[in-house]
Amino acid sequence: MPSLNRAQLRELTRIVGDRGVRSDAGARSAYESDGFMLERATPEVVVLPRTTEEAAAAVRILRDAGLVIVPRGAGTGLSGGARPIAGGAILGTARMRDVLEVNETDRYARVQAGVVNVHLTSACASAGLFYAPDPSSQTACTIGGNVGNNSGGPHGFRYGSTTRHVLGLTLVDSEGEITRIGGPFPDPRFGYDLLGPLVGSEGMLGLVTEVTVRLLPQPRCVETLLCLFEDLDACCDAVSEMIARRLEPSAIEILDRLTIEAVEASVLRAGYPSNAEAVLLIEVDGGADEVASTSEDLIAVATEFGAFDSRRTTDPVERKKLWTGRKGAFGAMGRIAPDLYVADVVAPRTRLREIVRVAAAACEERGLRLANVFHAGDGNLHPNISYDRRNADEVRRVLEAGEIIMQACVDAGGSLTGEHGVGVEKQKEMCMFFNDEDLDAMKALKSAFDPVGFWNPGKMIPVRGCREIHTKPLGDSVGVTP
Amino acid sequence: MSTEGHRPHPSTKTSLIDHARSLDCIHCGLCLTTCPTYQLTGSETSSPRGRIHLMRAVAEDRLEPDAGFAEEMDFCLVCRHCESVCPAGVEFGAMMEFTRSSLREQQPPGPLARFARWVGFRRILPSRFGLKAAVLGLQLGQTLGLIRLAAPLLGLRGSVMRHLPKVPPRSERRPLPAVTPAQGEKRDRVLVLEGCVMPELFGRVNHAVARTLSATGLDVLSVPKHVCCGALHAHNGEMKDAEELARETIRRFDAVDPSARIVVDSAGCGAHMREYGRLLANDPEYAARAAAFGARVVDYSEELSLPAARARLRPLLRAGHGIEGPITWDDPCHLCHGQGVVDQPRQLLDLVPGLERREMTAANSCCGSAGIYSVLRPKDSLDVLAPKLEHLAKSGAKTLVTANPGCHQQWLVGIGREGMDVPVLHLAEVLDRAISAGE
Amino acid sequence: MTTSSFLDTAVEVAEIEIHGTSSPVALPRTEAELMALLADLRRAREAGSDFRAAFLGRGSAIGWCAPSLAGSFSGGSSSGEAANNGRATVWISTRSLVPDGATGIVEYVPGDGTLTAQAGASIETLRAAVREGGHRITPAGPRSGSTLGGILASGISSVDRYAFGPARHHVLGMRIQDASGRGPTRTGGRLVKNVTGFDLHRLHAGARGTLGAILEASLRLAPVPEAEVHVTSTPFSSAAEATAAGLELRASRMLQPRALFVRDRILHLVLGGRARQVHVELTAALEHLDAAAPHHGEDALDRAVDAARRKSALIIATAPSEVMTVVEHIERALPGSAAGLHIEPDAALVEMDSEGLRASLHGLFESVLPALDPSAVHVSLRDPSADFAQLRDVLRDRHVAPRAASEWMRRLQSSFDPAGVLRSPDFPPQEVPAS
């Protein structure tokens, strides 16, 4: 396996400083996985540059050393995209965390890729602006990571995922060359819209070191609703109906009882009711009258579908608590079992109940505990399955259930991932959704940016062709590193 | 999920780690940005999640607990900010105490460091005589200018010493009387912890605490001959000493009054004393008593926030206290993260007439003091403080208020180095002056 | 050279008027026919024939929205033109892939707010179909005369971008026929949220068919609002004053307009949403604006789209904070009135028609262009007429793209079209390396 020689290591250290290079076994071991814990592989070296220029210089050294590069933000990703397949270097943006510019008039911000999502939002709050994508890990995840995964979040329902908010970015390519693409302007000027394929490219086309994002005026009025249901099916149907009636809140989330219990037992307790099987957490924003009209209509739908109670609040402190609870739900599941498999599938919004039932049945049959907390308004389901990775049989059952859920979604016209990305987790399952020719087109894109396979190799696109993968029995395609 | 307080077996490396507790972490990473050492380095290895990952790797025999591992454990300030945001409820502080303690037992430090620790933890902290001797030494050094002379020899540690506070006059260092009687109608009686360092360096704070509590109608009882609660020992892995000091503390306090609330004005001590139950869980004689003791511990700001106390306090507070505003409150980690006390001190400060309070950015992040961390790792400690100083400057506050001797001292050092003109006060001093202004 | 001379496959060929000239266009009726046609063209290119193929829908945008395509008619000289210049163009339309009498709708799911349709489907048919379910297609214009594929490929956005952003933000997935010899490929899906695989659909949106033909596209639809109103101000004394009023409304944040633009000297405003909110915002707007009687109703946005209809000869794109400067410069250079000026303060676009451009050409050279910082203001010429050849030359070198970016674009095209069958897009001129 290629690695750095002493001179190269010294040169790297000279460029990025003592704290920018970690090559001892202990330090590297912390980078062997991200939020996806089923598999791991340790990098040869971890490099943490402070600027675009440092990153570019580091890339040249790593390339000369024959190391491949895995870009990484805060390592909160859930598909294994930010950890190596085998060896190579982690190039992390965690020290690139300056907000370079907030422009109030033109409503954009320019940030280094390692800026934490929530820090960007607080940096532009005094200008009355906000950055819309709000993944649940926003208190830790970076804007660069969001770009890599085209991250969503609850408010993606109204405002869309990251791709709708990126105006420009700076990319370091495999030559170590720095290129600025787009800018703070609303439309691409000529040639192709390179931002399109770069956003969501999971670090496979280069390292994003700077991002210019669109900022939105803070809504004049925000109301949060909590609708309580006695069963999850009815809750799902209510959401389908809200979509069918074309109501436009900014977020529609479902939390089931197990999730509520975990959150309420945690430091993030939000005051969710203990007597509901499922709750709808909805946010409505806009002008005061728009908010009032829409909230009334939403509550009417919820009531019609059996909500036994609906609460409304405009108090910022209370609202924040409700959302902090939602966003910590994934972590709170740590109270239930040592490990958590977070599925991230998408279904057409007319078929939410169906998929939730498939997930419930798949887990029940396998004796697994399932908790649901998801972006219902977008059809983006997160069945969370608790397990203990030391129990190999349980791991196998979890992955089996995961595949059944993915297959059911694809069969219903849905997809494999709504916001967590493919990474290593869903690489083989890509063949459920795409055929070899579709994947060839993706390889064509990859090779235009990265002809030698330098950036984040072994991710997203299956290594073997789909035809080959499809000939294997279902359970066999599940890759487990015990 | 976790097994309470089981002891490490001293010979296997897997026993270095409280493995059961480490399983609570599901690697979500929400703790990262709260961690001062991750903020400082950007290295995930130096984050709570990373450290748990290392502990787990050691416990699962995938990683050697080498010097690098020990260094990473020592680099942590144990500010417990991560616990405040951890949805899975990982008890990081407890895990870190366990690991440090196991490391000390299995990989004892070199003879010089061992001697220094012995002097510090066995001879100075738990002994009033030892503390007085140390302070006398400091005073002598300051008077004779020895510190100034020694500073260059000591490098950065020396530069910290240069900013050590003037040892206060003897009058401020006198202990509290056995009873400070309630003013006006008596409501209740409380015990107070005078502490180890507090009487020597911040005796005026203890007196302010006693005066303000008594002003709201409380008999304030001190505990004679008690010196140290053992918090610093526990944080630094000296668990046996910590346990012994906890037992002694319980005995001495209970001897004065076995049921009164115990008011603590030092956040680090309060956070630790609240957890005596966990610390002594395996001691059949003390387990129940320790848990009951822990439940009686309240922070000074909590005591005064009780409705009856507030009702008595409010009319006593007057403008004309001479404190220059705006003020800002800096949360000691072991108050906000360790004890969940966030609103009470702010609300009390807001009661003081003629005093504007401003929020400082990241008031709940660590100042770098972290017990004796500032002495053991002065450079890291000051690096952690640096962004806080910027936030302080940006806030425009003219006075900084906190409630922990370590933090107090750390701010004095930092503010001194920056050449800023911002006095540091304990919450009790602010309230005491506002009461005096009305007398 | 005629289109049919390259073809072994029997494909229907029709004559279509493209920018005043009648040209032959191949009309494949099935995807298999299209694939065979592309295979023929690939062979012809490999055999050394010098031509390029270009896709179109109904050809409504050719010459205006797709300058590189228009180039061959005008001897255009932008860098993209150089690659295409003088070569025969084989025009291929995707509109006949929609069977006669069919709508081209593959799937409209009102309950999910999504539409999947063939690229050759006529936009007015699609608009009418989703209107039944209470939905709208973004962009709101053009309203008719175009195909879905044509609109997406040319990257057209309409005045509703104020609220909804550009058209590409609403594309959920596509089926593409590229020129590599592969069969049709899929990218994205039919879901409002999905990150499975690379986002190639956003690459094809606006690529003008130079990476392949869009066969099918899925869109996220917008609801028809409960209430909508089109407000037009009385004419301001200048376009600059109207723009200032528009910028002020934008900055005040008291309204959430669907569209806000200046046409000539009139400020147009479309307010839409919940009825109560629209009522409140209309009242507020009328307090700030001298306006004609507002037009209420479901066609309010359509009326605004019609009012904004234009053939822009020159498009100046900048930042909102720069719009006033640009407008003032242009207006000073324009003798007489501000007729033909179209200004969108939020998208920071200032556009003028051919007549205005002709009238202000001298001032443009003398005072406007020198005053505008090329790094903050981008000027592009859309009118292929020879009258503006000199301006085209000046603009060509005004903006450069980083070397790597234009390299990636070239590589992208050769990845999807290794034989070089398709026309080149408007590749930006390359930055000269510093060393």
Give the model confidence (pLDDT) of B134-161 as tens digits: 777 777 666 665 555 555 555 545 555 5
pLDDT of residue A191: 80
- Domain encompassing residue A129: 99-217
For chain C, domain boundaries:
3-97, 105-223, 227-396
Interface check A112 vs B, CB under 8 A: no
Which whole number is the average pLDDT over A25-30? 92
Q: Above 50 in pLDDT, residue A160? A: yes
Backbone angles phi and psi of A9, in degrees to 5: -65, -40
Query: Distance (Å, rounded) from C-alpha A410 to C-alpha A406?
Result: 6
Same domain, A346 and A447: yes
Do A368 and A463 fall into the same domain?
A: yes
CA distance A340 to chain B (A): 7
Nearest residue to A153 via CA among A173, A139, A172: A139
**Residues A289, A244 share a domain:** yes
Show which of A217, A235, A266 is a domain's final residue.
A217
Who wins on pLDDT, A363 or C6?
A: A363
pLDDT at site B7: 42
Rounded to 5 degrees, φ, ψ at A422 are: -90, -50
For B255-285, give the DSSP string: HH-SSSEEEES-HHHHHHHHTHHHHTTT-TT
Higher pLDDT, B158 or A310: A310
**In this structure, are B300 and B321 located in the same domain?**
no
CA–CA separation, B107 vs B112, rounded Å? 14
- Residues C247-260, mean pLDDT to the nearest whole number: 94
Average the pLDDT over B311-339 and give the result.
Answer: 94
Chosen for mutation from A13, A21, A24 (greatest number of chain B CBs closer than 10 Å) is A24
Contacting residues of A for C195, CB less than 8 Å apart: 149-150, 152, 161, 200, 417-422
Residue C435 has pLDDT above 80, yes or no: no
C366-386: average pLDDT: 85
- Residue B352, pLDDT > 70, answer yes
What local confidence, expressed as pLDDT, does residue A471 receive? 47
Query: Can you tell me the distance from the alpha carbon of A155 to that of A161, in angstroms, rounded to the nearest whole number?
Result: 9
Decide if A183 contacts A176 (C-beta within 8 A): no
* pLDDT tens by residue, B199-213: 888 899 999 999 999
For residue B4, what pLDDT band results from cuts at 50, 70 and 90? very low
Compute how many other C-beta atoms are within 10 angstroms of the C-beta atom of residue A478.
Answer: 17
Q: What is the DSSP letter of C90?
A: E
The two three-digit tokens of residue A425, written as one number: 């987790």
Dist CA C125 CA C144 (whole Å)? 8
**Residues A322 and A350 occupy one common structural domain:** no
Q: Which of A29, A46, A263 lies nearest to residue B63, judging by beta carbons?
A: A29
Whether B362 and B280 map to the same domain: the answer is no
Record: contact A293-C194, CB cut-off 8 A: no
Q: What is the mean pLDDT of residues B55-70?
A: 90
pLDDT number for residue A421: 96
Count of domains in chain A? Answer: 4
Locate all alpha helices (DSSP H) within A134-198, ordered by sequence. Answer: 143-149, 156-159, 195-198
> Can you tell me the distance from the alpha carbon of B263 to that of B258, in angstroms, rounded to the nearest whole number?
14
- Residue B127 is assigned to a structural domain of this protein: no
Measure B120 CA to nearest chain A CA, in Å.
Answer: 31
Q: Are residues B298 and B183 in the same domain?
A: yes
**Which residue from A minimizes the CA distance to B19?**
A338
Domain boundary among B263, B282, B305: B305
> How far apart, in whole angstroms, are the C-alpha atoms of residue B128 and residue C75?
96
Closest CA to C342 of C267, C392, C395: C267
Query: Would you call A196 and C199 a contact, using CB atoms and an 8 Å cutoff?
Result: yes
Q: State the virtual CA torsion across B255, B258, B264, B266 in degrees, nearest 10.
A: 50
Residue at which a domain ends, from B79, B106, B133: B106
Determine the average pLDDT of the residues in C5-24.
Answer: 71
Q: Confidence class of residue A188 from pLDDT cuts 50, 70 and 90?
A: very low
Residue that finishes a domain, picked among A217, A233, A253: A217
Residue A441 falls within a domain, yes or no?
yes
Closest chain B residue to A339, measured at CA? B26
| C-chain residues near A150 (CB < 8 A) | 195, 199
* CATH annotation of C227-396: 3.40.462
Q: How far is CA B334 from the centre of its chain?
A: 6
Among C361, C428, C405, residue whose Cα is nearest residue C67: C428
Q: What is the pLDDT of residues A216-237, one digit of tens each?
A: 999 999 999 999 999 999 999 9
pLDDT 10s digits, C147-198: 999 999 988 899 999 999 999 999 999 999 999 999 999 999 999 999 999 9
Q: How many domains does chain B have?
A: 3
| Highest-scoring range by mean pLDDT, A175-189, B312-326, C155-169, C217-231 | C217-231
Considering only CB atoms, which residues of chain B are within 8 Å of chain A? 1, 23-33, 38, 41-45, 47, 49-50, 53-54, 57, 62-64, 66, 68-69, 72, 83-90
How far apart CA C95 and CA C92 sit, in angstroms, is 9
Any domain includes B136? no
Return the percent helix, strand and coil in chain A, to nearest 5.
40, 20, 40
Best residue in C187, C196, C280 to probe A by mutation, most A CBs within 10 Å? C196
Given a contact cutoff of 8 angstroms between Cβ atoms, the answer to whether A307 and A225 are in contact is: no
Query: Is residue B140 domain-resident?
Result: no
- In tens, the pLDDT along C121-143 reads 999 999 999 999 999 999 998 99
Together in a domain, B184 and B292: yes
B72 shares its domain with B178: no
Residues B241 and B266 in one domain: yes
DSSP per position, B107-134:
SPPPHHHHHHHIIIIIIITT-HHHHHHH
Structure tokens at A120: 């960007």
Whether residue B100 is found in the same domain as residue B198: no
CATH number of the structural domain spanning residue A298: 3.30.70.3450
Residues B25 and B70 in one domain: yes
* Structure token digits, residue C224: 């028809």
Residue A56 belongs to some domain of the structure: yes
- Number of A to B CB contacts under 8 A, please give it: 138
From CA A166, how far away is CA B265, in angstroms rounded? 50
Residue entry with tokens 């307090």: C287
Residue A414 within any structural domain of the chain? yes
Q: What is the mean pLDDT of residues C209-231?
A: 97
Does B334 share its domain with B261?
A: no
Name the fold adopted by C105-223: 3.30.465
Which of A31, A139, A339 comes nearest B33 by C-beta?
Answer: A139
How confident is the model at residue B13, as a pLDDT?
60
Final residue belonging to a domain, choices B60, B76, B106: B106
Residues A324 and A349 reside in one and the same domain: no
Question: Do β-strands C105-109 and A89-92 pair in parallel, antiparallel, or remain unpaired?
Answer: unpaired
Q: How many CB atoms lie within 10 A of CB A417?
A: 29
Alpha carbon A186 to its chain centroid, in Å, reads 25
Contact call for residues A342 and A420 (beta carbons, < 8 A): yes
Residues B400 and A34: their CA atoms lie apart, in Å, by 39
Question: Can you name the residues that pair with C122 across neighbouring β-strands?
Answer: C147
Work out the mean pLDDT of chain A and round it to a whole number.
93
Whether A263 contacts B89, CB under 8 Å: no
Q: Report chain A residues whose CB lies below 8 A from the CB of B31.
A: 140
Same domain, B331 and B359: yes
Question: Is the residue at B145 inside a domain?
Answer: no
- Cross-strand bridge partners of residue C350: C316, C343
Report the gap between the CA of B224 and the closest CA in chain A (Å).
38
Which of A324, A335, A394, A481 to substitute to test the interface with B, most B CBs within 10 Å?
A: A335
Write the residue in A156, A243, A446 that is nearest to C111 by C-beta: A243
Statement: residue A95 has pLDDT above 70: yes
Whether A159 has its CB under 8 Å from any CB of chain C: the answer is no
The CATH number of the domain where A199 resides is what? 3.30.465.10
Q: What six digits make up the tokens of C323?
A: 């719009």
Last residue of a domain, one of A217, A241, A267: A217
For residue range C388-405, list pLDDT tens digits in order.
Answer: 888 988 887 777 778 888
Residue A242 touches partner B, C-beta closer than 8 Å:
no
A310: in domain: yes
Q: Are residues B175 and B287 in the same domain?
A: yes
Q: How far is B352 from chain A (nearest CA, A)?
A: 24
Res. B106 pLDDT band, cuts 50 70 90: confident
Tell me the CATH number at A48: 3.30.43.10
Task: Decide if B146 is inside a domain.
Answer: no
In degrees, rounded to 5, the angle at the alpha carbon of residue A141 between the alpha carbons of residues A137 and A143 is 125
Domain span at residue B418? 317-436
Indicate whether B285 and B355 sit together in one domain: no
- CB-based contact (8 Å) between A346 and chain C? yes
Q: Average pLDDT over chain C, rounded to whole?
A: 87
CB proximity C409 to A under 8 Å:
yes
Instruction: Confirm whether A1 is domain-assigned.
Output: no
Which tokens go with C267? 């400020």
